[in-house]
Amino acid sequence: MRLVILDNYDLASEWAAKYICNRIIQFKPGQDRYFTLGLPTGSTPLGCYKKLIEYHKNGDLSFKYVKTFNMDEYVGLPRNHPESYHSYMWNNFFKHIDIDPNNAHILDGNASDLQAECDAFEKKIEEAGGIDLFVGGIGPDGHIAFNEPGSSLVSRTRLKTLAMDTILANAKYFDGDLSKVPTMALTVGVGTVMDAREVMILITGAHKAFALYKAIEEGVNHMWTVSAFQQHPRTIFVCDEDATLELRVKTVKYFKESFIHCIQGAHLYCCMYLPT
């Protein structure tokens, strides 16, 4: 497990975008070799998406041979609703890059058979060869995707009822009106994300500080589903200073020193691949 601490949100977003860019370029995707990327929604990844769009427009990065799988989608919200995750992804990312729409996979929260939709999503991931890099964010209660507190840590893609904390947090996207916020969603499971070859979790802001503490300083606990990724062989938590406020001083110091040594050892190599 790695913890990368940057000074602020913008730097954390840029570091994450450069990491994704580097992974895709190193992979050397092509017509018979697609890079498979898991993607989140919400406010946290917006800065990362903006940087990835910038790299694409500068000619540094192509998504022509990339397949994406999104973490979740609301149930019952029309696909063209401005707050659906279909709309979010197309408006904030996909329409600005060269990805083939057929390679951008998002769960259908209006499917006639929701369980069949979830099963088909898992099958598509399997047929794509699994996820190379799954990028995620978390809620203040430590949930990843919509795997709310108490979710099984080996869960697969399924229908979930949203916790009241999540509904309250998402009300800001629905004019503050709780009655407009969907109460159910389709979501990949913790086990689905754990199957990825690599996981990168973005955590920014003081309101996520206690969740980060639970994620890395305490044991694995299904009440804090993000803590499961302590057991993944290749997990990177990317955060800003505000998100570290609940961590022990020695924890922050250790990971900052490790990050500096990593940069010093890999500087020339990284410069070969990462956009400036």
Active-site entry in 14, 122, 141, 195: 141
Among this protein's residues, is 148 annotated catalytic? yes
Residue 14 appears among annotated catalytic residues: no
Asked if 198 is an active-site residue, the reply is no
DSSP state of 161: E
CA-wise closest residue to 184 among 108, 109, 263: 109
Positive or negative torsion for Cα 112, 115, 118, 124? negative
Q: Report yes or no: 224 and 254 within 8 Å, Cβ to Cβ.
A: no
What distance in Å separates the CA atoms of residue 255 and residue 97, rounded to the nearest whole number? Answer: 34
Q: Which of 14, 72, 73, 122 is catalytic?
A: 72
DSSP 29: -
- Annotated catalytic residue, options 14, 73, 148, 195: 148
State whether the Cα torsion 210-213-219-224 is positive or negative: positive
Contact of 239 with 210, CB cutoff 8 Å: no
Among the listed residues 56, 86, 143, 232, the single catalytic one is: 143
Active site residues: 72, 141, 143, 148
